[in-house]
């Protein structure tokens, strides 16, 4: 097993860990557990974003742009230093929450992420730098770096204004927005365009430029959605809505180009797994964009700020339905992990079941829907099912057949 395959399996291992932590969090509602709930939430979220997604993207970017640059030793040093910081967070957050050592490991991780950016910017071959796919990757890395302003600001805010300050909350939202919508999504589009370039699916430069700039202006403008909870003037809703519309237009341009070349795509080397996954991912992403736009309407913006289940459901929709599914599909396409049709079907089923239960509880709070007495047990059950599916995907990697 080569290093990128090994590192992909490590990333999948984090995915299973966060699924286990997710089940543990759901169990707090049905049993007495001798852990601090908030501390587990911190561990769950940090390992999700930095363990699973970051590690998987790191492997993909190295595989696509740096593998032939003869810098394997440099890459491995950064990769293992990054894993050291992630394991450090996994150990310290459940025990201490935000405290000296967890903050230290978080800080070291940010430094490691800067080193990754430097590695990619410096060592990507010139021919690759001229591609549209690399343009997306480059911008995604800058979004990753930009997002780190949030954590850096948190220390200053905690020591001056305190955790109850609106600036504290907004610093977290700043980080999450540019992680989810900038670093993750734009990087995944970069990988998708790399695949298109590899199999000679030609999207005109004019159409790509339209898509690219609408997408990125949308990323910047939609940050305002994250601060609408502050009851800002209607101008803020207008800016946020404009950003959401720009991203819808960008997606429309891309979708039109894909549909134009549907026949050509169907006869390429796309495996059935990737073909099915991409269709589902594009559908889930379109739902994400629609929800995002609805969230800029004042009534729904206010609803989102007061209904935690809608927020959690939306974040999970992006994280599990778009980002994680895309990572699984792309890792499989480049033969870094093994997937089967049944594993993808089970994954999508488990994801949709968990979303159904999360959003249903949001509807209970919003519209007073019937709340079954056994709801917490049902939610734990579907969470356990989803955890088992991820465990199954991980075990596939050790099947020699």
pLDDT tens-digit readout, 72-119: 999 999 999 999 999 999 999 999 998 899 999 999 999 999 999 999
How much is the average pLDDT of 242-252? 98
- Confidence at residue 153, expressed as pLDDT on a 0 to 100 scale: 94
Mean pLDDT of the chain: 95
Instruction: pLDDT band for 331, please (50, 70, 90 cuts).
Output: very high
- The terminus-to-terminus CA distance of the chain in angstroms comes to 13
Instruction: pLDDT band for 401, please (50, 70, 90 cuts).
Output: low
Q: How far apart are CA 92 and CA 33, in angstroms?
A: 18
- Confidence at residue 400, expressed as pLDDT on a 0 to 100 scale: 64
Q: How far apart are CA 278 and CA 116, in angstroms?
A: 27
How is residue 123 annotated by DSSP?
H
pLDDT per position as a tens digit, 7-48 = 999 999 999 999 999 999 999 999 999 999 999 999 999 999
Token pair 């089967």: residue: 340
DSSP helix/strand/coil, 339: coil
Range in 130-134, 157-161, 313-317 the model is least confident about: 157-161
Q: Helices in 178-323 by DSSP H: which ranges?
A: 185-198, 205-221, 234-260, 262-266, 272-294, 298-306, 308-316
Contact 57, 187 (CB under 8 A): yes
Instruction: pLDDT band for 62, please (50, 70, 90 cuts).
Output: very high
pLDDT per position as a tens digit, 359-369 = 999 999 999 99
Q: How far apart are CA 114 and CA 112, in angstroms?
A: 5
Comparing 362 with 268, the larger pLDDT belongs to: 362
User: What percent of the chain clears pLDDT 90, i.e. is strictly above it?
Assistant: 88
Cβ atoms within 10 Å, residue 341: 11
pLDDT at 302 over 80: yes
């Amino acid at each position: 097993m080569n290093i990128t395959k090994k590192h992909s399996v490590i990333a999948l291992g984090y995915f299973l860990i966060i699924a286990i932590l997710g089940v543990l969090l759901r169990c707090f509602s049905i049993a007495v557990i001798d852990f601090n709930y908030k501390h587990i939430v911190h561990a769950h979220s940090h390992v999700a974003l930095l363990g699973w997604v970051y590690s998987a993207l790191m492997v993909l970017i190295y595989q696509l742009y740096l593998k032939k640059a003869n810098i394997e030793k440099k890459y491995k040093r950064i990769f293992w230093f990054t894993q050291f910081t992630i394991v450090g967070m996994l150990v310290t957050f459940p025990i201490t929450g935000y405290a000296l050592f967890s903050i230290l490991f978080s800080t070291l991780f940010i430094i490691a992420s800067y080193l990754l950016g430097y590695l990619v910017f410096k060592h990507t071959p010139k021919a690759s730098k001229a591609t549209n796919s690399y343009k997306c990757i480059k911008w995604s890395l800058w979004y990753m770096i930009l997002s780190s302003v949030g954590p850096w600001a948190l220390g200053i805010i905690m020591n001056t204004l305190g955790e109850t300050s609106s600036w504290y909350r907004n610093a977290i939202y700043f980080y999450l927005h540019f992680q989810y919508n900038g670093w993750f999504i734009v990087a995944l589009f970069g990988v998708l365009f790399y695949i298109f370039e590899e199999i000679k699916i030609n999207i005109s430069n004019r159409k790509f430029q339209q898509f690219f700039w609408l997408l990125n202006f949308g990323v910047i403008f939609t940050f305002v959605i994250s601060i609408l909870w502050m009851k800002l003037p209607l101008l803020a809703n207008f800016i946020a809505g404009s950003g959401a519309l720009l991203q819808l237009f960008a997606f429309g341009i891309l979708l039109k180009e894909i549909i134009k070349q549907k026949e050509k795509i169907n006869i390429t080397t796309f495996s059935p797994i990737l073909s099915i996954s991409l269709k589902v991912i594009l559908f889930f992403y379109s739902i994400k964009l629609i929800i995002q736009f609805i969230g800029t309407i004042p009534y729904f913006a206010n609803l989102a700020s007061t209904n935690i289940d809608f927020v959690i459901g939306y974040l999970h929709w992006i994280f599990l339905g778009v980002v994680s599914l895309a990572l699984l599909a792309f890792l499989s396409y480049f033969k870094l992990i093994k997937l089967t049709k049944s594993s993808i079907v089970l994954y999508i089923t488990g994801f949709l079941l968990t979303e159904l239960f999360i959003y249903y509880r949001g509807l209970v709070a919003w519209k007073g829907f019937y709340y079954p007495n056994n709801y917490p047990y049902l939610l734990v059950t579907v969470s356990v099912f989803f955890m088992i599916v991820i465990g199954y995907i991980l075990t596939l990697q050790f099947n020699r057949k």
